[in-house]
Amino acid sequence: MTTTQLPLRTLGKSGFTVSAIGLGCMRMTFGDKPIGDTNEMIAFIHSAVERGVTFFDTAEVYGPFTNEDLVGQALEPFKGKVAIATKFGFKHDPTSGPSPSVGYDSSPEQIKRVADASLKRLRVDAIDLFYQHRPDPNVPIEDVAGAVKELIEAGKVKHFGLSESGANLIRRAHAVQRVTAIQSEYSIWWREPEAEVLPACEELGIGFVPFSPLGRGYLTGKVDENTKFDSSDIRSRNPRFTPEAIRANQVVIDLLIRIAKEKDATPAQIALAWLLAQKPWIVPIPGSRKIERLDENLGAAAIRLTPSDLSEIKEAMAKITVQGHRY
């Protein structure tokens, strides 16, 4: 199998280098229906590798467990050539059916159990990047970082990450074990990390991995007030996807469309290029299950937004109030 080369980026000062755009794998087995056929999704992941993607994002809770199984099976032939990020931090009730979790659990014992189980499902000798999926109010972050530090010393984990953590928690964790990456929602229409988290990352030499970089599909420009979402789709319950919010937020799409026309690009590509232009240590992980969407997303790595383009976007967005909370 021949592979093309995407630009590479290093997450902070960790030395952890991956493709400039990664692939979020959650929706391949979990979330809105229909979920992907296993063989089709394995072939799709192989296609991503062919196109130069070396960074794949999964989690124990996606399923639970089925997503790690899929990613592990798909990427086993590329061991040592790609990096897999997975997550801990939830506890599961096997009798609760499809419910993914029954609460937080980042106790050191649970972290170590999850690591051992994830290693088997992912079919790897070490987890490349192990995130705490969400802060656990019942476990001091120092204990979490200490448990991951022990896993790193044991050779079971290579890098430690946090997801959706604030700057204070990041600093406390980093004081115990170097944090390689922070994963949080970040896009042209959700910019809260700019206030405190991104400055903390820059100060401490930590990379940043935006999830939902296309605003759960809204920033592609393919969603309008007439779009219907299946009840299994998180957007059917999301305040940003009511017909009223979709109408109100169209001004964001109009801005992306205008710049996309100038660049011979798509709105989605401009949204991703904007993220890449923010910091050289930012690596977005758009989710996809279709080759045409994958190719579109990866094409963003070749788009250069000028300082003038970025100023235009900044000025325009300063006049826009995005309607609806993200959850």
Residue 314 inside a domain? The answer is no
| CB 55, CB 285: distance < 8 Å | yes
* pLDDT at residue 46, rounded to an integer: 98
Give the domain CATH number at 180: 3.20.20.100
Residue 240 CB coordination number (10 Å): 21
What is the Cα–Cα distance from 27 to 293, expressed in whole angstroms?
14
What is the model's pTM? 0.95
From the candidates 62, 131, 186, 218, give the one annotated as an active-site residue.
62
| CB 187, CB 217: distance < 8 Å | no
Residue 212 inside a domain? The answer is yes
What is the Cα–Cα distance from 182 to 282, expressed in whole angstroms?
10
Residue 194 inside a domain? The answer is yes
Q: In degrees rounded to 5, what are phi and psi of residue 40? A: -65, -40
Residue 164 inside a domain? The answer is yes
Tell me the sheet residues that pair with 210: 184
* pLDDT at residue 1, rounded to an integer: 53
62 is catalytic: yes
| CB 51, CB 4: distance < 8 Å | yes
* pLDDT at residue 98, rounded to an integer: 47
The total number of structural domains in the chain stands at: 1
| CB 211, CB 183: distance < 8 Å | yes
Using 50 as the pLDDT threshold, list the residues of the chain that sit under it.
Answer: 98-99
* pLDDT at residue 96, rounded to an integer: 57
Q: Which residues of 65-74 are buried (b: 16+ CB within 10 A; e: fewer)?
A: bbbbbbbbbb
Domain residue limits at 162? 8-216+266-305
Residue 293 inside a domain? The answer is yes
Q: Which two tokens stand for residue 44?
A: 């799709």
* pLDDT at residue 193, rounded to an integer: 98
